[in-house]
Amino acid sequence: MEQILTASQVADMLQVHLRTVYKLARKGLVPGRKFGGGWRFSRDEIVRMLSGGQAGLLEVGLADAKKTL
């Protein structure tokens, strides 16, 4: 069964601030879905993103998000 994560759990997993997770999700750099007023994330998709080719894209998004915090 697929494990669903909250934005807070993803922030812990990526070791970033919670607001950064929201910004990355809105930009489509972190795979997630808006559900019931909040964001939900598939643990499998996050792990796949980190181990696949999207990790570099995430780094660019993190650098960009830090500029706006």
**Domain ranges within the chain, ordered by starting residue:** 4-68
Strand arrangement of the beta sheet that strand 4-6 belongs to: 4-6, 38-42, 33-35
For residue range 12-66, list pLDDT tens digits in order.
999 999 999 999 999 888 999 998 889 999 999 999 888 876 656 566 566 665 6
pTM across the whole model: 0.77
